[in-house]
């Protein structure tokens, strides 16, 4: 089984890459939003310059972000699940 990890799988290029990989038989774990310095800068940006920052701030305050360490632990738990590989894209947020 081939596993490919792609970040940013919900939108834009990440979504297109995820779809293309899964159509080729790859299994793609989707880690959810990982709290990084870039995410912090986007959440803190002037809303007139980056309106998306408001949505990210709401997701962060709602507990939708994971640390890199949490995402890594979820990835390892996902890979150990017997059902891993049953679906082309595995949502790791529940792992």
Provide the residue range defining the domain that includes 26.
Answer: 12-94
Task: Please check whether residue 88 lies inside any domain of the structure.
Answer: yes
> How far is residue 42's CA from residue 27's CA, in Å, rounded to a whole number?
29
Strand partners, 3: 27
Element at 76 (helix H, strand E): helix 68-80
Within-domain flag for 3: no
Looking at the predicted structure, is the pLDDT value of residue 88 above 80? no
In a domain, 78, yes or no: yes
The residues near 64 (Cβ < 8 Å, ≥ 6 apart) are 32, 33
Distance CA 91, CA 93 (A): 6
Q: How many CB atoms lie within 10 A of CB 30?
A: 19
Is the pLDDT assigned to residue 35 strictly greater than 80? yes
How many domains is the chain partitioned into structurally?
A: 1
Is the residue at 35 inside a domain?
yes
In the predicted structure, residue 1 carries a pLDDT above the cut 70: no
């Amino acid at each position: 089984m081939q596993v490919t990890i792609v970040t940013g799988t919900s939108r834009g290029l990440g979504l297109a890459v995820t779809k293309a990989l899964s159509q080729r038989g790859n299994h793609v774990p989707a880690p959810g939003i990982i709290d990084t310095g870039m995410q912090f800068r986007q959440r803190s940006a002037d809303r007139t310059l980056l309106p998306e920052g408001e949505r990210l701030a709401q997701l962060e305050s709602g507990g939708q972000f994971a640390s890199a360490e949490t995402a890594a632990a979820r990835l390892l738990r996902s890979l150990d699940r017997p059902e891993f590989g049953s679906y082309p894209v595995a949502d790791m947020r529940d792992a």
